[in-house]
Structure 1
Amino acid sequence: MDTIRLTAYPERWLGGPAPGGLALPPAQPNRIHLYAPRGVYVDDDVVVVADSGNHRVLIWYDWPKNDHAPADIVLGHPDFETEGPKLFHLPTGVAVIEGKLFVADAWHHRLLIWETLPKINNQPPDYVLGQADLSGTSPNRGGKVSPTGFYWPYGFAYINGWFYVADTGNRRVLGWRGLPDDGRVPDLILGQPNGYVNSENRGKGVGMDTYRWPHALAGDGNTLYVADAGNHRVLGYTPPPEIDRPADLVLGQQDFTQSFELPHVPQGPRRFRFPYGIALCGNLLAVADTANSRILLFTELPRKGAYHPASYVIGQADFEGMGENRWQAVTRDSLCWPYGIWCHQNRLAIADSGNNRVIIWRLEFL
């Protein structure tokens, strides 16, 4: 029996309104609109959104006091109306870590870092990970796969003193003890036998130690969770690994050797289709079940075993629902292809990509 009782409701909507709920919110760049956002970060002082389709990052200082509030700062362009790839090419993950702003500039194959939160529009980053310098934008630093290059780094996380990167195109997770601001090689490579190969599922098929598209990470001092989106599953390592090893937990599949996708049929509380986002909300594990347009919440933090059921669902009326906006109009509590998620205290922020918006939900534990 679950020991956590939960109610959840949408508290704030960032991005343009949906006219009558019958059309998607507008996406042209300005201080309000978003276009297919894939990443979001929230804390007590700031909201940061990877406005991926507009190739920019928006920052709101303080808590937005109303829906559709205008952003304060834009990064990647000189103003709020400019669009197209420049500094960023499809930014995805965003987070503030020890006062520094990190952005996964996925299609430029790098992470960009600002030493302090930017206070002016288009403020340049201070340094880069995954490239030799800030001018580099090629996969794997323009060469073959190596321990210090990236290929589509969609996600990252800082967990219990370890910094992790989901190096998606290289089908691996890289880990460093502490923040790797000195460009050193990673202390950990998960999903590949060494730093110089990048075969899908290690070239041997789906298993306990393989990835197809590792996309996002979350965890605590006891478990590291990896959203292996291409295999339609989440893997968990308990305790967090310090060397490459098999996972202890699989969610979304019946066992570690399966990667089934079941499109266009009711999914129930155990299956995923392309889980692109993951976050911890206290003793809840939240998974963005992206292609099913829902967020699944697991209580009591599953740590080992397989095929655990979720306890709660956000975005659908029940566990059988899997339609975009529940096959109806855009509403305040519907979802369409949610990607990145972030939890801070009792707020769950969802980059509701298909609806061109971010929805921040209030979680109340009873």
Structure 2
Amino acid sequence: MKKIGVVFGGTSAEYEVSLKSTAGVLRSLEELAYEVVMIGVTQKGEWLLYQESIDLIEADTWHLEASCVPLQLDVTGRGFFDLTRNCFIQVDVIFPVLHGGDGENGVLQGVFELMKIPFVGCGVTASAIGMNKMMLHQFAKSLGIKSTPSLLVHKGDVDNLEIQLFIETHGFPIFVKPNEAGSSKGITQATNKEELVTGITEAFLYDHQVILQKNVQGVEIGCSVLGNETLTIGACDQINLAQGFFDYEEKYQLITAEIQVPASIDFKTERQIKEQAEILYRGLGCRGLSRIDFFVTDTNEILLNEINTMPGFTSHSRFPMMMKEVGLDYTEIIQTLIELGVESYEHSLLALSE
């Protein structure tokens, strides 16, 4: 029986999202023939072996349990060292259910590669580029994929000429985003210069770089991709907003927003979105899964917004719902992802031996 190490939590602003996703993954794994090792990362960066109820993960009290055991990553022994019991814990596959920050930007993926353990999801390069919005847009441009017009801002650049030119070219409203963050954390919409300055200041609380992004008149469309070499592309979904924009609160509480699956777009547009998603997925060298988000403007222009290499993963999150529409249920996705992680690892070993 394979031993699956589910890593959750983390130090990013998306810690709470990770806990929700992890609860779904763990409950699904109970239906499959695996031994599960739960490994939590606290918001302070402590790695703990967790052995209690899934419910306590959802409630974010898991780390308070006396049974939690400090762990140390062992890059030479392909596993984790139990510092309390002075023993080694090996796992066959790591399922990292971490969103944003070091969980999704290639840092942990690099650690897992050094540990020589198969893991679920994209590798270092795809994760790093996917997390960096500006770098992603520049890479997409090299593949012939258009992106939402954006400008990278560094600290101290609030009043520079480039920002003024961006305002004059695109006008308000302008979206302000941390360059490397997800789940809409730190994102604001500015309708004037004063709000823009305030938004930039807030975004810098989440990252050392910020991007300004032109407001797009249109609809946001998501496309989910599952696989390594052979890909399964799910149905596109659509974000319907009654007001405002798809911020953190709307994403996880759906107060006025509605996620529609499948999207109400014509066949030609859907096909073009899926083609662009596949080009980007393969170009980045993605593995396992990704959700790629686009805007379709009122003039039917397709613009890349972002890619999520570890999207929200509860059973009712966007990625599983898009896959459900093409016949894959949640547990099947979990099973497939584990198999894809092993396949990717074996492929890398084969490449090294040649």
Say which structure is richer in strand. 1
TM-score, length-normalised on structure 1? 0.30
Q: Normalising by structure 2, what TM-score?
A: 0.30
The structure having more radius of gyration, on CA atoms, is 2
**Structure richer in helix, relative to its length:** 2
